[in-house]
Each structure stands twice: as structure tokens, then as C-alpha cells.
């Protein structure tokens, strides 16, 4: 694809690109917004270096690409505008369980994309890994692809957050409130991207609890295979953060994993997520 208003450098054969020549703190021209959208569709995740964004500017950046999602149900939020999520950890106390995932797949309409800004980074570690679910699907065997076409899966907020929340005082009550607010959702195991038309594998180890059409043992066995396959290094890139980095990823066709390898050091990120649509699979 030809880009006139931004500079694009591919990071791997499957996903990822560095974007230069744009100041994300500004009101972006329509042509630049469209090119960033096009790059997101082409590469799945975009990285912008040396961006000096206030919290208000970060929120405005997200709004230029769509409606922002409601406050995250677990993470801390900005007091003035709770749509800005604060992801802060010092050794991830109380969050011992963490897996590859696509954001908020426990919702009826999971997010289109997320925009993450690095504010404080450990001296070492704290990278984020991203994986292409297009590539994960494309490399499955034809018999497995055919079988997955008719399958749907349950996505559970309890599976993702239950363990961490139950480590808190009154954690069980918090879990029950979340389950009431976010009941089990069913999504197709394969997802058709609404803009590119490509097929992506759409199960993730953090939130996907079972495949509806299979017995419990069959579901467990197949999900184990699909989780392992989706997490192969072949489909991944790893981003080493610098303060001021912004990552913008497409939750409809990627997964990500924040590496917990920085001990008790301080890591502070801000995130906004953009409202998406209900997943579907088109044969």
C-alpha cells in the first residue's frame, strides 16, 4: 500500500510496523487518520516513537478513530475521564495469572483496537509481545480449518480475572458482580474481519472457557491445541518499550502478552480502547 502522509517501516512478515512523521498529540488531518487506519489493517499493530501526549490528548487521539469504550471494569481509571485506563504495576502484585489475549472478548462487542502509551518503563523487561491471528489461522491444516468453521466458543470475564480478584479482600463478591455485569458471551472460533474480509483465529487463553458444540474433554483438548498454535513464536513480534512509545493494535486479528519479567520495578501505561462490533464468521 502506498502512504503519502506517514512513513511506514514493516517489522515482520506477519504483523507490525513503525510509523514516523506524525505527531499524535495534534488534531490529525483526515488524510493522515485514513492512512493510519489503512496501516492498522495492513500490519495489525503500529508503533509510534517519541510521542509526548497528555492524558487529555491521549483520549482525543482515540476519539479520532472511533467511539471510546466504557471504563475498564478492573483496572484503575483516570478520575477526570474514566475512559482512560491506568495500567500500573510493581511486580504485578495480585495478578499472578496472565495469558495471551485479545482485549475484552467477554463483551458482546469486543473492542476494535487499543491505543497504549508508555509513561514509565522498568530498566529491563516489561516488553509486550504481539501475534497475528491471521497467520495462526492461515497455517492450520485444511481439515482443522473446516472443523472450526462450525464451532463457537464461550468467553468469560471470570476466567481472565477471577484468580487475581479472589486474592483481594471481598474478592468473591467482586467476581460475582463482574459475572452479573458481563455474562458469558459466545463468539465464533473463526472471525471474519469486518474491514479486510480475512479470517482470523478467535480464541484466547485468557478469556475463552470452552467450545460450545463439543464435550468438555473434547473442548479442553481442542482449545489446548489452538492456544498452543496461536502462541507460536513464528507469528510474533516483541516490542521493547521506551517512554513516549505508543502502540495501536487491532483486537480483531491480533493477540498480545505483557511480559512479567521486571521483578518489582515500576511500569506505568495508559490505554484507551475503541468500541468494536459483534464478531461473526462468514463462510
Q: What is the pTM of this model?
A: 0.95
pLDDT at 115 (0 to 100): 98
Q: Do residues 200 and 253 lie in contact, with contact meaning Cβ atoms separated by under 8 Å?
A: yes
pLDDT of residue 92: 58
Edge to edge, what strands does the sheet with 254-258 contain? 236-239, 128-132, 254-258
The rounded average pLDDT for each run of 10 residues, N- to C-terminus, in the chain (283 residues) is: 95 98 97 98 98 97 96 86 90 66 96 98 95 98 98 94 83 88 96 98 97 98 98 97 98 95 91 97 92
Rounded to 5 degrees, what angle do the CA atoms 254, 255, 257 make?
Answer: 145
**Phi-psi domain of 263 (left: phi exceeds 0; alpha: psi -120 through 50; beta: other):** left
Structure confidence at residue 75 (pLDDT) = 85
Report pLDDT for 97. 53
As annotated, the active-site residues are 101, 103, 256, 271
Whole-number Å distance between alpha carbons of 54 and 88 = 17
Q: Is 214:151 a contact under the CB 8 Å cutoff?
A: yes
Domains of the chain, first to last: 7-274 (3.60.130.10)
pLDDT of residue 31: 97
Amino acid at each position: 500500500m502506498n502512504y503519502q502522509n506517514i512513513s511506514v517501516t514493516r517489522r515482520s512478515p506477519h504483523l507490525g510496523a513503525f510509523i514516523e512523521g506524525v505527531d499524535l498529540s495534534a488534531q490529525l488531518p483526515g488524510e493522515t487518520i485514513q492512512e493510519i487506519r489503512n496501516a492498522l489493517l495492513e500490519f495489525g499493530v503500529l508503533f509510534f516513537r517519541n510521542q509526548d501526549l497528555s492524558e487529555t490528548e491521549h483520549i482525543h487521539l482515540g476519539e479520532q478513530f472511533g467511539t471510546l469504550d466504557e471504563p475498564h471494569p478492573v483496572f484503575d481509571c483516570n478520575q477526570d475521564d474514566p475512559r482512560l485506563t491506568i495500567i500500573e504495576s510493581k511486580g504485578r502484585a495480585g495478578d499472578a495469572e496472565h495469558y495471551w489475549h485479545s482485549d475484552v472478548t467477554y463483551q458482546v462487542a469486543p473492542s476494535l483496537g487499543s491505543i497504549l502509551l508508555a509513561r514509565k518503563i522498568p530498566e529491563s523487561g516489561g516488553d509486550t509481545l504481539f501475534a497475528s491471528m491471521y497467520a495462526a489461522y492461515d497455517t492450520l491444516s485444511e481439515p482443522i480449518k473446516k472443523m472450526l468453521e462450525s464451532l463457537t466458543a464461550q468467553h468469560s470475564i471470570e476466567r481472565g480475572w477471577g484468580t487475581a480478584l479472589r486474592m483481594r479482600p471481598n474478592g468473591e463478591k467482586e467476581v460475582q458482580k463482574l459475572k452479573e455485569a458481563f455474562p458469558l458471551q459466545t463468539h465464533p472460533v473463526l472471525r471474519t474481519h469486518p474491514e479486510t474480509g480475512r479470517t482470523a483465529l478467535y480464541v484466547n487463553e485468557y478469556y475463552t472457557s470452552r467450545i460450545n458444540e463439543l464435550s468438555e474433554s473434547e473442548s479442553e483438548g481442542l482449545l489446548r491445541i489452538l492456544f498452543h498454535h496461536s502462541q507460536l513464536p513464528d507469528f510474533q513480534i516483541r516490542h521493547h518499550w521506551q517512554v513516549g512509545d505508543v502502540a495501536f493494535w487491532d483486537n480483531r486479528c491480533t493477540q498480545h502478552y505483557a511480559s512479567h519479567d521486571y521483578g518489582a520495578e515500576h511500569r506505568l501505561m495508559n490505554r484507551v480502547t475503541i468500541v468494536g462490533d459483534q464478531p461473526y464468521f462468514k463462510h
